[in-house]
Amino acid sequence: MKRLLFVLLLCLSSFLTTHAQKFENLAMTPPMGWNSWNKFACNINEELIKGIADQMVATGLRDAGYVYLNLDDCWLGTRDENGFITCDKQRFPSGIKALADYVHSKGLKLGIYSDAGRLTCQEHPGSLGHEYQDALMYARWEVDYLKYDWCNTENINPIGAYTLMRDALRAAGRPIVFSMCEGGANQPWKWAKEVGHLWRTTMDIGCHFEKPIPKNGEWYPLSVLEILDQQVDIRDASGPGHWNDPDMLEVGNGMTVNQDRAHFTMWCMLSAPLILGNDLRSMSVATEEIIKNAEAIAIDQDSLGITALRVEQKDSVDVWLKPLANGDWAFCLLNRAHTPAKFDIDWQKYNKSDSLSARSTGFDKITYSIKDVWAKKKAGTTKKNKSVVIPAQDVVMYRLQPTK
């Protein structure tokens, strides 16, 4: 009898591995939400998360599209006598299911965190050897999103490990967005489309617009500009249901307003997930205006889901174009310098064809109306060239719409 049961389990495992696939029709636009790590790291608890949920509603962020409220590391407790994961009872005395119920009652979705290794990055229990148990528990708790990290993964194959968790999530039966977080070391943009809904393309972001000058060998996480430059050659991997993820947003965590606006804008141009990481309970008016700019968000959430292409670098200015639905384009000038930059826009110079979208700007044949996304006003048409001044470490971003 035991032998028969063992054979049946092997057959079931083989069937699940062969036939499992990620949940379709999830993350058809880049996920939007909030994550606890960038601001709070391990200093999280039930009261904080409920307060953030309240603020996501009160500030209008939920209605702007930010619907995922994601716990990062340090929510985990121990495993019970049967190997099932539990939460830290001191931090989350009501349990994760009760927290999910509260988050859902606010019209939001709950995300959770684990790791493919023995331990998480903060040395809490990882999912290695417990993938199906953990996926089943997430389903029972009615979790909606899983961020799956890559610490303490010695001698583990990343494709196998992430595929295993994908299969476990599928077997548990609850549609869960699968966010892969192996830091880009194994080039997930080449293989993860069938495994996850989004995957990190780089190591962790820090609250730096450009790379800081190291002091006495001090290590820094990656800056906004460093991460941006690493996205240029992998745009073809991203699209509806399968997104390149350049990491979470640092808007509101200490950079200048100009830098925050440029950071947010370039993530929108990349069709990146917009996962906030600031304290929503005490953010400034300027921060709120940036992260709630509906026209910038619309460019990120465009139904084509195509990442922008960088078409020129001239002195301190990058020129980016992003094809949008209905024949529109997003046109963005990024000034990397510490001083304002004057830039002359000769539209005919940007008669560009994009093989990924099979589209051309066609400035020689099409006249576009210009909408300044951050000034929130019309800015003429492409019949005439423009001269603009881009503030220091800031952007000018236009939405171009064909005229009749």
User: Is pLDDT of 8 > 60?
Assistant: no
Contacts of residue 57, defined as CB under 8 A and 6 or more positions apart, other chains included, come to 106, 107, 108
Q: What is the mean pLDDT of residues 47-66?
A: 98
User: At 80, phi and psi to the nearest 5?
Assistant: -80, -175
User: Is pLDDT of 3 > 80?
Assistant: no
User: Is pLDDT of 18 > 90?
Assistant: no
Same domain? For 295 and 213 the reply is yes
User: Is pLDDT of 13 > 80?
Assistant: no
Q: What is the tens place of the pLDDT at every residue in 287-300? A: 999 999 999 999 99
> How much is the pLDDT for 20?
81
Same domain? For 147 and 190 the reply is yes
Confidence of residue 19 (pLDDT cuts 50, 70, 90): low
Q: What is the mean pLDDT of residues 121-128?
A: 98
Cα separations (Å) of 307 from 8, 161, 177, 300? Answer: 46, 28, 20, 9
Give the residue numbers annotated as catalytic, written as ranges.
Answer: 149, 204
Q: Is residue 372 part of a domain?
A: yes
Q: What is the tens place of the pLDDT at every residue in 376-401? A: 999 999 999 999 999 999 999 999 99
| Length, in residues, of the chain | 404
Same domain? For 313 and 296 the reply is no
Return mean pLDDT, the chain: 95
Same domain? For 58 and 75 the reply is yes
Same domain? For 243 and 223 the reply is yes
Provide DSSP, 21-67.
Answer: -PPSSS-SS--EEEESHHHHTT---HHHHHHHHHHHHHTSHHHHT--
User: Is pLDDT of 184 > 50?
Assistant: yes
Q: Is residue 62 part of a domain?
A: yes
What's the token pair of residue 6? 């063992």
Same domain? For 184 and 268 the reply is yes
Q: Is residue 2 part of a domain?
A: no
> How much is the pLDDT for 404?
76
Same domain? For 199 and 273 the reply is yes
Q: Is residue 266 part of a domain?
A: yes
Same domain? For 267 and 360 the reply is no
Q: Please state which of the ranges 18-27, 64-73, 226-235 shows the lowest mean pLDDT.
A: 18-27
pTM assigned to the model: 0.94
> How much is the pLDDT for 217?
76
For residue 242, list its beta bridge partners.
239
Same domain? For 179 and 244 the reply is yes
Q: What is the tens place of the pLDDT at every residue in 218-275? A: 888 999 999 999 999 999 999 999 999 999 999 999 999 999 999 999 999 999 999 9
